[in-house]
């Protein structure tokens, strides 16, 4: 499975910077996990292929350019953009984003080929299929309804924590899997901001280390994501000091294969 964390900011030469402000992972060039930077960073080829988008929760950094993505494609779509989310998250997207005020309610609009956007409600704790992938979503511990994901293509398996603080179900889900190749896990704040991390339900390196003790698998790649750009250097130093085997930081723009 190939996974790319799409970049969300670019330097003056147009190169992706290592700061991550928005969240959007692209799996095998066709399925997106979250849609923060989806309209900003896809290549024209990827833009033609991505029609399946899983939204883990409705925070702006995870959906910022989803409306723009659909808007860009509106005239040319020959099949709807499918937005996979739990029923609670679908309700929030409809209430707060696609509400005719912030943006049009695309789920009610059609072009000459038919609907342009379709919601696909997803269960929690039960496998479902998206394209060639098998996905399981479970609730994680964030301030709005949010799911973490376990995604398999039949050969390799990758877990996405989404935004969370200490949690159990997500680790139980991973531990039940026969094997796991990579864990992409959020580490938003440095340890000195533990209080803010706690109230906003995010990990710091220290709280991540405590939660990683719940993980039974060994030998997987663990890549930190969702590091607040202002504290990136400090968070990386604190992560390195943990001495967790195969723990690194995911670089925006780079494609990883497992």
- Does position 61 interact with Zn ion (CB under 5 A)? The reply is yes
- HEC-encoded secondary structure of 66-84: HHHHHHHHCCCCCCCEEEE
Phi/psi at 249 (5° precision): -120, 135
Rounded distance between C-alpha atoms, residue 114 and residue 111, angstroms = 5
- Does position 59 interact with Zn ion (CB under 5 A)? The reply is yes
- To Zn ion, the closest distance from the beta carbon of 146 in angstroms equals 6
Instruction: Please list every residue from 163 through 192 that binds Zn ion, using CB under 5 A.
Output: 163
Instruction: Please list every residue from 146 through 165 that binds Zn ion, using CB under 5 A.
Output: 163
- To Zn ion, the closest distance from the beta carbon of 37 in angstroms equals 12
- To Zn ion, the closest distance from the beta carbon of 23 in angstroms equals 6
Cβ burial 160-182 (10 Å sphere, 16+ → b, else e): bbbbbbbbebbbebbeeeeebbb
Q: Which stretch binds Zn ion (CB under 5 A): 61-69, 123-131, 151-159, 229-237?
A: 61-69
Give the closest residue to 161 by CA, choosing from 137, 134, 139, 185.
Answer: 185
- To Zn ion, the closest distance from the beta carbon of 152 in angstroms equals 24
Q: Which stretch binds Zn ion (CB under 5 A): 13-21, 57-65, 127-135, 206-214?
A: 57-65
- Does position 228 interact with Zn ion (CB under 5 A)? The reply is no
Q: Whose Cβ is closer to Zn ion: residue 91's or residue 118's?
A: 91
Rounded distance between C-alpha atoms, residue 70 and residue 85, angstroms = 16
Q: Whose Cβ is closer to Zn ion: residue 157's or residue 161's?
A: 161
Q: Whose Cβ is closer to Zn ion: residue 59's or residue 161's?
A: 59
Q: Whose Cβ is closer to Zn ion: residue 119's or residue 160's?
A: 160
Binding residues for Zn ion, how many (CB under 5 A)?
Answer: 3
Measured N-to-C along each axis, helices 232-241 and 205-212 cross at an angle, to the nearest 10 degrees, of: 40
Q: Whose Cβ is closer to Zn ion: residue 21's or residue 51's?
A: 21
- Does position 52 interact with Zn ion (CB under 5 A)? The reply is no
Q: For residue 201, what are the CA distances in angstroms to 141, 146, 163, 196?
A: 7, 11, 8, 8
Q: Whose Cβ is closer to Zn ion: residue 34's or residue 181's?
A: 34
Chain center to CA of 255 = 15
Q: Whose Cβ is closer to Zn ion: residue 46's or residue 200's?
A: 200
- To Zn ion, the closest distance from the beta carbon of 61 in angstroms equals 4
Sheet-wide strand order for 133-139: 128-130, 133-139, 147-152, 157-160, 182-186, 221-225, 247-249
Task: By CB under 5 A, name the binding residues for Zn ion.
Answer: 59, 61, 163
């Amino acid at each position: 499975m190939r996974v790319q964390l799409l970049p969300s900011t670019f330097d003056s030469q147009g190169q992706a910077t290592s700061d991550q402000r928005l969240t959007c992972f692209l799996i095998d060039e066709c399925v997106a996990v979250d849609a923060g930077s989806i309209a900003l960073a896809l290549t024209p080829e990827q833009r033609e292929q991505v029609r399946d988008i899983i939204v883990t929760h409705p925070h702006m950094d995870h959906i910022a350019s989803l409306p723009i993505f659909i808007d860009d494609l509106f005239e040319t779509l020959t099949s709807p953009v499918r937005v996979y989310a739990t029923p609670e998250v679908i309700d929030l997207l409809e209430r707060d984003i696609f509400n005719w005020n912030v943006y049009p309610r695309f789920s009610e609009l059609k072009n000459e080929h038919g609907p342009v956007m379709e919601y696909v409600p997803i269960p929690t704790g039960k496998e479902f299929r998206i394209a060639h992938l098998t996905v399981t979503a479970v609730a994680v511990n964030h301030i709005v309804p949010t799911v973490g994901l376990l995604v398999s293509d039949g050969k390799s398996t990758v877990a996405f924590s989404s935004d969370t603080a200490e949690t159990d179900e997500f680790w139980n889900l991973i531990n039940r899997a026969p094997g796991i190749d990579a864990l992409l896990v959020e580490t938003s704040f440095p340890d000195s901001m533990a209080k803010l991390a706690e109230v906003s339900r995010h990990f710091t390196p220290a709280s991540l280390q405590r939660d990683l003790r719940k993980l039974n698998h060994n030998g997987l790649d663990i890549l930190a994501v969702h590091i607040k750009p202002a504290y990136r250097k400090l968070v990386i130093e604190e992560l390195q000091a943990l001495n967790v085997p195969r723990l690194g930081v995911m670089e925006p723009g780079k494609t990883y294969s497992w």
